[in-house]
Every structure is written in structure tokens, then in C-alpha cells.
Structure 1
Amino acid sequence: MSQTLRAPDILDIARREGRVTVEALAEHFGVTVQTIRRDLADLAEAGKLERVHGGAILPSGVTNIGYEHRRDLNPEAKAAIARRCAQAIPDEASVFLNIGTSTEAVARELSHHRNLLVVTNNMNVANILVENPDCEIVVAGGTLRRSDAGLVGTLTMRAIQAFKVDYAVIGCSALDEDGDLLDFDIREVGVSQTVISQARRTFLVADATKFERTAPVRIASLGDLDALFTDRPLSGALAERCRAWNTRVEIAD
């Protein structure tokens, strides 16, 4: 298979899994690792991938990956993380779920919880939980962002301020090595910050691809949260920071 024919498949794998490795691609295509390195170098030069040690990831920037592509990133990991997070939320609790494919996965895992009050600015979350007759759903209204059916802006923040929830489950676009949660849309960041201030406990759900990306707007620090649910152990420095902050780290398996 020529390089030109391999490139779309390499990009599809990167969108589906969040990253690609040289060895796995060489085995997948039946070519040498040197050939794959050249492929990745060309894709990086074209701005379609960003090289990292041992492979490549989707490029970071000032705009996020399309929502449908994000749904295809690490779906198994997101499902495992969501199960672990949902286990930490009891029946008869009030919960906030914000915008994101990881929080949508948590909503699916909450579909059999009893007597929940769920507040959300994510229309997709509301549609998922509508199947649970034991769940009261409050949609925090605001400006509809058509790209992901999220509600953002001042009206959304005002609606959230009417609540004090037991648990908030939030996502982010990137997680910096210093423990900062990052995102792309300042309006969504304002909503997330309001959610954190109105929750008794805040959980972050973030798969390992978030550690390999960056985004321009800061939401908060892991030190401001109660727990991180992820699928891969943290680096030594970040793990040490979480211990100092008393932020629990749960690794889904």
C-alpha cells in the first residue's frame, strides 16, 4: 500500500484511538517502522498529526476536534472511566453533568440509578437520561452551540447558580502536566467554573489522550477537585501533586 493510500487510514485510527504508535501501524500495514516514521513525518508536516515519542497524536491548537470525531476517540476507555465514576455516585443524589463525550458516557452509566436529580447544559445528556424514569432532569438553558448540542453563556451560568448539587461530573479538552484543566471555548469554561463553585464534590472524567493535548483557556486545577477518573496512571510529578492536593485518582480497568 502506498503512502498516499495509507494516510487516510492512519488519520482514521488516530481519530478513533486518540493516538497512533509506529510499531502498531507497521504491524497493521505490514511495512517497516522506518516507512511509518516517514508517513507520520509527512502527516505532521501537513499539520494533520503532531509527532510524539513513539508515534503521533491529533494536533493541538486553538480549536477543538469535531464532536463526532471526539465521540470516536477511545470509546472503550471512556466507557470504563464512566463506569468507575458512576459507581462513586449513589442513588438519591443531585448531579451536574457538563458538555462532553466523557460526561455522556457517565450519563449512560447512570441510567439505572434511582431517584436522581440531574442538572445539565448538555442536550445529549438529557436525551440519554430521559429513558430513566427515576431521574428528574433539569436543562440549564442558554445559547445553543450547534456543534455539540451544548448550552453556554450567561443564562446557563445563572441557571446553574440556582442549584447546590451533591456531585458535579465535568470533562475538559486537555490536562496540563501541572494539573491545570484546559478548554477551547471561554463560554464553556465559565460554565464549568460555575459548576465547580456550586458542587459539594467535583469529579473530572478524562481519558489519557487529554494528557497529550493542549488548549488555550484554563478552567481550574486538579487541586480544586475531589477526584480524577482516568484510564492510565499519571506521571510521577502529577501523581505527587494530586497526593499533596488530596485529589483522589481512580484508574479504570
Structure 2
Amino acid sequence: MTSSSSPASSDETPTARQRAIVDLVEQQGFVAIGALARNFDITQQTARRDVNALCEAGLLRRYHGGAGLPSTVENIAYEARQVLNLEGKRKIAELVAREIPDHASLFLTLGTTTKEAARALTRHKGLRVITNHLQIAGMISSCKDAEVMVAGGAVRPIDAGVTGEMTLDFFSNFKVDYALMSISGIESDGSLFDFDYREVRLLRVIIANARRVFLLADQTKYNRHALVRAGHIADSIDALFTDSAPPRALADVLAEHGVAVHIAD
């Protein structure tokens, strides 16, 4: 058997073997530790470390004797999401920022990757930004000549996000050049899913009122399952910005429907 290697911590990208473990669990629903060790020619101790790292990252759920799929009704804790594949999210943010010209109008949605995009946009001039994320509003307000408009509504303590009927009404008053949005999961057929129906309702308003829609999704979102359907990538998105090539089935869907794919180095 191969020697053990250190598992990815929550702020690192999962290793190729760990991604393969996630793929296997998605195919079978549950995989025992012993089966993982045999399948990947590693020790059971190494298999447990990989599973523990993936569970810590929210990509799997630990059960007695093995691992299964994470919950479809409960998202990863916000503190964990902020550091999960942070380097990949920052690369995505830098890539999408290069596509946004000065003096553009934008929607910026809730999400840890859109938060990094806001940070990358602080070098721009003359932006007009509409957001429901108080932390993003604070970042963009430091831009030269920027104007930030923040939606009204109830503020969530977990992430300083603003939600509710007032938020929907506020966003529906605008038509912007670009929407930068994130999502909890993208299934292989191109379906988009999230955990919160209120966020999904707002995403639909945002998509309908933006001339171009950019989806910011790192590799941990591929084939990740959530409860609330947000639409299909072909009907909603002009371009996907990511840190890793999509799985083959999803790549075929994107190519078939002409959705541009931008992959950060």
C-alpha cells in the first residue's frame, strides 16, 4: 500500500484522491472505510484521515464505519465556508474582476466567493453596486467614486446577509450590467441548487434584472446536493468562473448551451 499523505485542511483544495473519494460516495451513497482503503490502495488510517478532512470541509458526512453524502437540507457552517478552498475562491475573484470594466453597475449576491470578488473589485473606479451583503457593501465603499446601495430587510447574524420581502422589492427596482452570484451546488445535468428558498427567490430576481450573469463557483460546488432548485445553468448563466474544469457531463451541458467557462490558473 502507498504511504499516507496529509489530508487537506479546511483552507486547502481537496487532493485528487479526496475528490475521487467524494465522487465514489456520490455514486454509491455510502462507502465503508475498508472499501475505500482497498479501492485507493491506501491504509485504513489514511482513508480515515481523508474522510475526516472531507467531513470537516462539509463535503461528506461521517457514519459508523464509513462515509456518506452530506445533508441536503443544512449548509456547511459559515465559518467553515469562509476558509474552504479559500485560495481557489480568491483566484476566481481575481479572474472575474478582470472581466468587469470601470464604471459598471453590478449586483453582488451573498456568498463567500462573491465576497472575495468584492475584495478584488476594490481597485475599480466608478462602480455602482447593489448588494444584500453588509460586508461586501463595506468593501466596495472604499472604491474610488463607488456608489453602494444596500437592500433593506432582516440581517442574518451568521453572515451579515440581508433577506426578506423588502430585499426582493429593492432588487427589482434596478437593471444592471452584471450580476455576480454564487450557488451551493451544481449537479451534473446543469441544475442549480441552494439551501435557502429565500436566497433562491432573490437569485431569480437578480438573474431577471441583469444584462449578463456570471456564476462564481469553486470546484467544491460540483455535484454537491442541496434542497431548493434555483434553475438550470443554461437558462440563467452567461459564464461560469471556476478554479477547476467542470466534470465531463457538466462540461458537455455548458458547451451545448453556449455557457462560457473561465478557469483560473
Deviates more, 1:57-66 or 1:138-147: 57-66
Tell me, what secondary structure is at the counterpart of 2:123? Answer: coil
Give the corresponding residue for 1:233.
245
Identity %: 42
CA distance in 1, matches of 2:18, 2:206: 42
Bigger shift: residues 154-163 or 59-68: 59-68
SS at match of 1:15: coil
Shift in CA distance, 42/188, structure 1 to aligned 2, threshold 3 Å: closer
Residues 1:201 and 2:196 are matched in the alignment:
no
TM-score of the two chains, using structure 1 as the length reference: 0.83
Corresponding residue for residue 246 of structure 1: 258
Q: Distance in 2 between matches of 1:33 and 1:196?
A: 47
Change (3 A) 1:44 1:73: closer
Task: For residue 104 of structure 1, give the secondary structure of its aligned residue in structure 2.
Answer: helix
**How far does the alpha carbon of each residue in 1:29-77 deviate from its partner, in whole angstroms, 9 at most, with x for none?**
xxx63322245568999xx8448xxx98983431111111101111111
Q: Deviations over 1:175-197 (max 9, x none)?
A: 11111121101111111111001
2-side partners of 1:157 and 1:23: how far apart?
Answer: 39
Match of 2:12 in 1: 17
In structure 2, stretches of 5+ residues that fail to align are 1-5, 20-41
Instruction: Tell me if 1:79 matches 2:105.
Output: no
- Moved >2 Å (runs of 4+): 13-24, 38-45, 48-51, 55-61
Question: Residue in 2 aligned with 1:181?
Answer: 192
Computed over aligned residues only, the root mean square deviation of the Cα atoms, in angstroms, reads 2.7
The aligned residue for residue 149 of structure 1 is 160
User: Cα offset for 1:198?
Assistant: 0.6
Mark the runs of 5 or more structure 1 residues left unpaired by the alignment: 1-8, 25-31
Separation of aligned partners in 1, 2:81 and 2:138: 18
Aligned to 1:159: 170
Instruction: Name the CA distance, whole Å, in 2 between partners of 1:115 and 1:43.
Output: 42
- Look up the SS of the partner of 1:16 in the other structure: coil
Contact 2:152–2:170 under 8 Å retained in 1: yes
Matches within 5 A, 1:53-68: 59-68=70-79
Amino acid at match of 1:17: E
TM-score w.r.t. the length of structure 2 is: 0.79
CA distance in 2, matches of 1:133, 1:42: 44
Q: Partners in 2 of 1:123 and 1:23 — Cα distance?
A: 34
